[in-house]
A and B are shown apart, each in its own frame.
Chain A
């Protein structure tokens, strides 16, 4: 068991980070290169002011009209994304690992706060799963990939929660938690999770079009 633990926090962690970082660079550069070659207009009309204007408006809950039409979804989705990104970075146990292995120290959430945020991620996942099953417009277009992505995001938080609360066999749980976390990280550039990398570009582009060409709001 110890050897497995050593493997997942050692070589596998390096691999996961490498896949995530190199994969992300590959993803963004191939997109930009393809845009240069095939979609000349994307670069011609790209405008940082309007791109940031659009991103800024959509980063504020209840500013875009559509976010006001779906208030609960807006609250859940903002909470989910904020917790999803911040918890893995600022969880005390993770911060301690950075310190232990690399001597890097930074701020961490208190354990109680991180615990609540983890629960919020899990509940959000259940909410999204519910939407996929119950809402007609979502069910109609849902694909297997959407479920895979949801499970890939759910598992590291779920196993992390169980490990923290010492529910079930701790050692197995912590290994699973690390493994699932690494899978999630490595999956970002290659699955629907790539919207983390590309959504700012698509948002920025439509913002540039609406601002620069169409002289209209896009929120």
Chain B
């Protein structure tokens, strides 16, 4: 308990976004947000969760923060609910700015919404949902960490997460096409091809920081003989930080734009790149907000796509990836969408030296970056890294050389942990390994 308080103190008053929001608060504003969230927007689910939690503490070991902090109860899932929801409902408009700051810090930076704890609660309470509701409340009050709020602003203005301008986006695609054509002269990244089978969408950090991933995807699409396209207009970015800040209205706009772009192109389905949270935004959050039980256009994750290509014999293994690999199960596509066995089929197809980490599949530890936590920026990096010592230990125990993590957030989070704890392992997306080891019939020989 003491440690948690000290950590909160360390982080206090450093976040200009939260500070600005706190300065502008009035009891009336708080009351309005309370009414809106707890009277109008939530109902039976939140009420039932609040009533039936018997505070048995059995969720504690579901949380990587709790495990990494040697059983500090402030980091247990129910401990976080105590510091946020229960505090809000108890103090209501009398809550002090100091207390609200702690509420925001816990909700945004000490929970990855990974839902592992939902599998540890005997009565099935979804703590991630509770924390999401708290974030919604914080968003309405304007007490959101500055960095993640900036990405939300970018979403709002540009419909992508990274302030990528339209010409920069198209230019990045043309650039990657040009690069790839040196290897595969017939390769194209077809822009806005109406009626294509597949629209391929990515997250904005790909054109911004990792354009080579677009290159790899283009090679895989081309060499598998797919009829595909990428949109030049907004809707190309499938990421969604708004759902993590609690800005559901913006989140809805983003998902609508993504789906509508696919509909405008009349594609049969959308294939999303190797990202976890973006997929969650589609199957779990955005569709519901927009009133779709499922999707207006079929959407599959890259893992599903690669798996299908392997099954259909379109993707062929030219050589094996000999390094010893382990596989990290990203929360949003494994605990969230059950892609763990398909992922393992891909790993086994390319990597003969595969070691499981433990626990794995649905029980895997989160990367501690997801849920918008890493997007809260540098002020919270230490907390994030300290909160996932257990992941570093889990990785080290495998003795593998390469971690395959088919999720951007996981990559960034694991990278920090690998450095901080001297894990000494490389990170890889599936597309990197597939690109390296697949048959490329159209490639220039030599």
Contact = CB atoms under 8 A, between A and B. Distances in A.
B23 interface: no
B42 interface: yes
A39 B43 contact: yes
Contacts of A37: 43
B279 to A, nearest CB: 11
A34 B44 contact: yes
A219 interface: yes
B124 A137 contact: no
Contacts of B126: 206, 209
Size bin of chain B's contact surface: 35 or more
Interface stretch (B76-84, B170-178, B438-446): B76-84
Nearest to B42: A38
Interface string A181-218: 00000000000101100110111111101100111111
Given A140-B74, A194-B52, A216 B79 contact: no
B45 A216 contact: no
Given A31-B47, A44-B293, A137-B66, A216 B338 contact: yes
Classify the interface of chain A: helix, strand, loop or mixed. Answer: helix
B89 to A, nearest CB: 12
Contacts of B62: 66
Contacts of A201: 48
A69 interface: yes
Contact of A137 (B71, B81, B339): B71
B44 A214 contact: no
Given A202-B48, A205-B124, A215-B337, A137 B57 contact: yes
Given A54-B124, A199-B52, A213-B284, A140 B82 contact: yes
Contact of B54 (A34, A195, A209): A195
Nearest to B52: A195
B120 interface: yes
Contact of A141 (B55, B118, B125): B55
B119 interface: yes
A215 B338 contact: yes
B283 A42 contact: no
A214 B81 CA distance: 24
Contact of A32 (B44, B54, B61, B79): B44
A137 B82 CA distance: 12
Contacts of A215: 337-339
A53 to B, nearest CB: 12
Nearest to A58: B122
Interface residues of A, number: 55
Contacts of A140: 1, 57, 73-74, 76, 79, 82
Interface string B115-131: 00011101111100000
Interface string A127-145: 0000100011111111100
A54 B22 CA distance: 42
Interface in B338-352: 338-340
A205 B125 CA distance: 9
B362 interface: yes
Contact of A136 (B73, B125, B284, B337): B73
A49 interface: no
Interface string B138-161: 000000000000000000000000
B82 A141 contact: yes
A194 B51 contact: yes
A162 to B, nearest CB: 27
A41 interface: yes
B60 interface: yes
Given A205-B124, A219-B119, A42 B284 contact: no
B36 interface: no
Interface string B29-70: 000000000000111110111011111111011100010000
B415 interface: no
Interface string B332-371: 0011111110000000000000000001001100000000
B49 A69 contact: no
B13 interface: no
A176 interface: no
Contacts of A217: 119, 362
A204 B52 CA distance: 14
B43 A192 contact: no
Given A140-B82, A215-B337, 8 more contacts: A65-B119, A146-B54, A199-B124, A201-B48, A203-B124, A214-B337, A217-B119, A218-B119
Which 4 interchain pairs have the tightest Cβ spacing? Answer: A38-B43, A215-B338, A140-B73, A206-B124
Interface of B: 1, 41-45, 47-49, 51-58, 60-62, 66, 71-74, 76, 78-79, 81-82, 118-120, 122-126, 283-284, 288, 293, 334-340, 359, 362-363
